[in-house]
Amino acid sequence: MKWKLTNRFLMTIMTIIFIVIIVNLVLLVGLLYWQSNKSTTNDSVNDEVFTRDFKQYISTEQNVPNVNDAGLSLLTAHNAWIQILDSNGTVVTSYFAPSEAPSHYRPIDIVQHYKYQEYDTGTTVYVSNKDDFSYLIGIFNPDVSRYTLSLNGSSIINVTSKYVLYIIIVDLIIALFAGLMFGSILTKPLYVMIDSIQQLKNRNFHLQKVKRPGIYKQVFTNLQDVSSELEKQENEHKKLEQMRNEWISNISHDMKTPLASIQGYAELLNDADVSDVERKEYAEVIERKSVYMRELIDDFNLTMKLRQHKLPLQLTEVRIEKLLRDLVINVLNDPQFTMSHVHFESTASELVLTVDEHLMQRAITNFLMNALIHNPGDTQVTVALTEVDRRVMIEIRDNGRGMSQEDVENVFERYYRGSNTTNVRGTGLGTAIARDIIIAHGGEVSIESEIGNGTTVKIRI
> Are the C-beta atoms of 122 and 138 separated by less than 8 Å?
no
Confirm if 381 and 331 have CB atoms less than 8 A apart. no
Q: What is the predicted pLDDT for the residue at 41? A: 44
In terms of CATH, what superfamily is 312-460? Histidine kinase-like ATPase, C-terminal domain (3.30.565.10)
Query: Closest Cα to residue 137, out of 42, 39, 50, 58?
Result: 50
Task: Name residues whose C-beta falls within 8 Å of residue 372's C-beta, 6 or more positions apart in sequence.
Answer: 331, 337, 340, 342, 379, 381
In 3D, which of 237, 183, 174, 230 has the Cα closest to residue 205?
Answer: 230
From edge to edge, which strands make up the β-sheet containing 80-85? Answer: 91-95, 80-85, 133-140, 123-130
pLDDT value of residue 121: 66
Is 310 a residue whose pLDDT tops 60? yes
**Partners of 130 in the beta sheet?**
133
Contact between 364 and 324 (Cβ < 8 Å): yes
Q: Which is more confident, 365 or 201?
A: 365
**Contact indicator for 363, 437 with CB cutoff of 8 Å:** yes
181-195 pLDDT, tens digit each: 767 766 777 777 778
Grade residue 387 by pLDDT with cuts at 50, 70 and 90: confident
What are the backbone angles phi and psi of residue 213, rounded to the nearest 5°?
-70, -20
User: What is the pLDDT, as a whole number, of residue 427?
Assistant: 57
Give residue-wise pLDDT tens across range 401-450: 888 888 888 787 755 555 555 444 555 677 888 888 888 888 999 999 88
Average pLDDT over all residues of the chain: 78
Q: What is the pLDDT of residues 128-150, one digit of tens each?
A: 988 888 998 888 877 777 766 56
pLDDT at residue 288 tops 70: yes
- Confidence (pLDDT) at 189: 72
* DSSP structure string for 397-436: EE-SS---HHHHHHTTSTT---TT-TT--S-S-HHHHHHH
φ, ψ of residue 196 to 5 degrees: the values are -65, -45
> What sign has the CA pseudo-torsion 287, 292, 297, 298?
positive
The predicted pLDDT at position 19 comes to: 72
**Which is nearest to 455 in space by CA: 385, 390, 388, 373?**
373
DSSP annotation of 242 reads: H
Query: Would you state the pLDDT for residue 307?
Result: 65
Protein fold of 218-306? Helix Hairpins (1.10.287)
If you ran DSSP here, which 8-state letter would residue 132 be given? T
Q: Per residue in 226-242, pLDDT tens?
A: 888 888 888 877 877 77
38 pLDDT more than 60: no
What Cα–Cα distance (Å) separates residue 354 from each residue in 90, 308, 317, 342? 123, 22, 4, 26
pLDDT of residue 40: 44
Better-predicted residue by pLDDT, 309 or 392: 392
Residue type, 55: K
pLDDT score recorded for residue 1? 46
Q: Judge whether residue 314 has pLDDT over 50.
A: yes
pTM score, whole prediction:
0.42
